[in-house]
């Protein structure tokens, strides 16, 4: 038998107030007699963010804090008979502002208000599918050099495609090749597979941006050296790495000399974009000979 009557309302975060687009982020439950109040919000409202609109958790928390204080201020007062819970929700609705909207008060009956609340929260508030289990992915800041990195990678792969004279065979060429080091996983622009089944060998090629700022160029070179040493400390496959210098407008020749010196000190081969077609032709010829011998 249902013994308790209560009111509930859905709290919505307005993603686009002008187009009436909203996300349900919390549930308010108020009992009619023996006043009981509960503001049940998503632990992380951000799971309902969109690509174009991020939910500001502080706005939801601020409304929750105000609603709780508003209820506590009236807790010891008389509800003035039937309808007190609904009047409470109506008055609270005025505090929503432009970002928070409180939906209409709905009535329900239950012998277990807590269980009913949990069921309503699951039906109205909890996200569905992947977002129910995952927090929103943090957006990494945009890489200002991303377009240059992609152009450098494309140039390296394009040079090998032209030298090979056909589509690069995956059994011998691996694009965006990942190698696991001791501390991190590193991805190289291109790997040329060789050696034998018992003793495999890999020739790795990766771009190195030479920037107008000499210090930044050296930092790029140092970063590549660190990744290479990390791989050598973890893997025992026969490998060599060639850093392909990709010069940007305004890059200093002094920075190039220092970067080359640092790379060669770590036994990393160095090539310019102008030398790459010759290297690609030689490697491709070796791959053809290897294929014929098999």
Give yes or no: residues 240 and 152 share one domain. yes
Q: Does any domain span residue 140?
A: no
Give me the DSSP letters along 159-202.
Answer: HHHHHHTSPPPTTTEEEEEEEE-SS-EEEEEEEEEEE-SSSEEE
162-176 residue pLDDT tens: 887 777 888 888 999
Q: pTM, whole model, 2 decimals? A: 0.53
Residue 130 pLDDT grade (very low, low, confident, very high; cuts 50, 70, 90): very low
Residue 138 lies in a domain: no
- 49 has pLDDT over 70: yes
- Model pLDDT, residue 97: 77
pLDDT at 243 over 90: yes
Report CA Rg, the chain.
32
141 within some domain = no
Quote the domain boundaries for residue 102: 4-132
Same domain, 90 and 159: no
Indicate whether 87 and 119 sit together in one domain: yes
Give the three-state DSSP class for 27. Answer: strand
- 230 and 186 in contact (C-beta within 8 Å)? yes
Pairing of strands 173-180, 185-195: antiparallel
Q: Is residue 269 part of a domain?
A: yes
Q: Is the same domain home to 159 and 117?
A: no
Boundary residue ending a domain (72, 103, 132): 132
Q: Is the pLDDT of residue 210 over 70?
A: yes
Domain termination residue (choose one: 109, 132, 155): 132
Do 192 and 271 fall into the same domain? Answer: yes
From 100, 132, 164, give the residue that closes a domain.
Answer: 132
Average pLDDT of the chain to the nearest whole number: 83
Please report which confidence band the pLDDT of residue 245 belongs to, taking 50, 70 and 90 as the band edges: very high
Instruction: Count up the domains in the chain and report the number.
Output: 2
What is the percentage of the chain residues whose pLDDT exceeds 70?
86
In-domain check, residue 139: no
End-to-end CA distance of the chain: 82
Mean pLDDT value of segment 58-79: 78
Residues 87 and 54 placed together within one structural domain of the fold: yes
The DSSP letter of residue 267 is T
In a domain, 202, yes or no: yes
pLDDT value at 139 more than 60: no
* pLDDT at position 154: 92
Structure confidence by residue, pLDDT tens digits, 145-204: 888 899 999 999 998 888 877 778 888 889 999 998 888 889 999 999 887 778 888 999
What is the C-alpha separation between 177 and 179, in angstroms, rounded? 7
Asked whether residue 154 falls in the same domain as residue 103, the answer is no
- Domain shared by 102 and 128, yes or no: yes
pLDDT at residue 200 in the model: 85
**Residue 177 placed within a domain:** yes
- Structural domain includes residue 228: yes
User: Which pLDDT value is given to residue 12?
Assistant: 93
Query: What SS3 state is found at 180?
Result: strand
pLDDT (0 to 100) of residue 142 = 67
What order of strands is seen across the sheet that includes strand 200-210? 173-180, 185-195, 200-210, 238-247, 269-272
Is residue 119 very low, low, confident or very high in pLDDT (cuts 50, 70, 90)?
A: very high
Residue range 5-17: average pLDDT? 89
> What is the number of other CB atoms lying within 10 angstroms of the CB of residue 156?
24
Mean pLDDT of 214-221: 86
- Here the CATH number for the domain that contains residue 234 is 3.40.1350
* pLDDT of the residue at 2: 59
Confidence band for 135, pLDDT divided at 50, 70 and 90? very low
Do 175 and 284 reside in the same domain of the chain? Answer: yes
Do residues 178 and 210 both lie within one domain?
yes
**Domain shared by 12 and 115, yes or no:** yes
Please indicate, yes or no, whether residues 175 and 263 belong to a single structural domain of this protein.
yes
């Amino acid at each position: 038998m249902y013994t308790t009557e209560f009111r509930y309302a859905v709290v919505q975060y307005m993603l686009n107030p002008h187009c009436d687009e909203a996300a349900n982020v919390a549930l308010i439950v108020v009992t009619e007699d023996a006043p009981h109040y509960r503001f049940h919000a998503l632990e992380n409202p951000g799971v309902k963010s969109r690509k174009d609109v991020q939910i500001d958790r502080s706005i939801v928390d601020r409304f929750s804090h105000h609603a709780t204080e508003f209820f506590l201020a009236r807790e010891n007062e008389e509800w003035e008979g039937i309808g007190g819970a609904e009047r409470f929700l109506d008055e609270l609705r005025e505090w929503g502002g432009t970002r928070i909207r409180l939906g209409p008060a709905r009535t329900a009956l239950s012998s277990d208000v807590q269980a009913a609340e949990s069921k309503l929260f699951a039906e109205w508030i909890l996200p569905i599918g992947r977002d129910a289990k995952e927090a929103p992915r943090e957006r990494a800041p945009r890489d200002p050099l991303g377009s240059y990195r992609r152009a450098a990678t494309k140039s390296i792969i394009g040079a090998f495609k032209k030298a090979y004279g056909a589509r690069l065979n995956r059994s011998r060429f691996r694009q965006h090749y990942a190698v696991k080091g001791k501390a991190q996983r590193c991805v190289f622009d291109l790997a040329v597979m060789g050696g034998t089944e018992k003793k495999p060998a890999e020739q790795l090629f990766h771009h190195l941006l030479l920037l107008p700022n000499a210090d930044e160029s050296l930092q790029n070179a140092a970063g590549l050296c660190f990744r290479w040493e990390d791989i050598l400390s973890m893997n025992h496959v026969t490998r060599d790495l060639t850093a392909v210098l990709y010069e940007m407008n305004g890059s200093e020749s002094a920075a190039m000399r220092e970067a080359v010196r640092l790379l060669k000190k770590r036994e990393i081969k160095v090539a310019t974009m102008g030398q790459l077609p010759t290297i690609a032709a030689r490697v491709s010829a070796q791959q053809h000979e290897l294929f014929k011998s098999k």
